[in-house]
Amino acid sequence: MAEGCIFCRILRGEVKGEVLYNDGQAFVIRDIRPRAPVHLLIIPVQHFTYLTYLNQATEPMVGHLFTVAEEMAKREGLGANGYRLVMNQGKDSGQEVAHLHLHLLGGKHLGTMG
């Protein structure tokens, strides 16, 4: 975990944040500025800044984020109508926190991207 990272600080309990799920590999919180009725962040416990720092050894962790996303989608009742998963890479993509994370969005028609 990184000292100044807001996600790491939430996980350590230093900053208030409702952790909806934590299995020791990944944890889930609600986005504080939701873009949809359901907007969750699926975050690896191990601090990774960007996708560019990942390698073959970290593939299981990235895959686990998607497994957790599916579970959270079911818990939030999104399975029937669908949901969107988004992972931003770097500042030009809109990544605001330098800790790799996956956005789970749903609860309304999201339209097309582009």
Q: Which residues of 35-65 are buried (b: 16+ CB within 10 A; e: fewer)?
A: ebebbbbbbbeebbeeeeeeeeeeeebeeeb
Q: Kindly state the average pLDDT of the residues 41-64.
A: 90
Q: Measured in Å, how far apart are the chain's first and last C-alpha atoms?
A: 35
User: How confident is residue 107, by pLDDT bands cut at 50, 70 and 90?
Assistant: very high
Write down the pLDDT at residue 114: 66
To which residue do tokens 């944890």 refer?
A: 27
pLDDT of residue 49: 87
The structural domains of the chain, ordered by start, are: 6-106 (3.30.428.10)
pTM of the prediction?
Answer: 0.92
Which H or E run contains 100?
Answer: none
Contacts of 94 (CB under 8 A, 6+ apart): 88
Question: Which secondary-structure segment (H or E) carries 97?
Answer: none
> Mean pLDDT, to the nearest integer, of 39-48?
95
102: which DSSP letter?
Answer: E
Nearest C-alpha neighbor of 68 from the set 50, 43, 87: 43
The pLDDT confidence band at residue 63, using thresholds 50, 70 and 90, is very high
Question: Catalytic residues, which ones?
Answer: 101
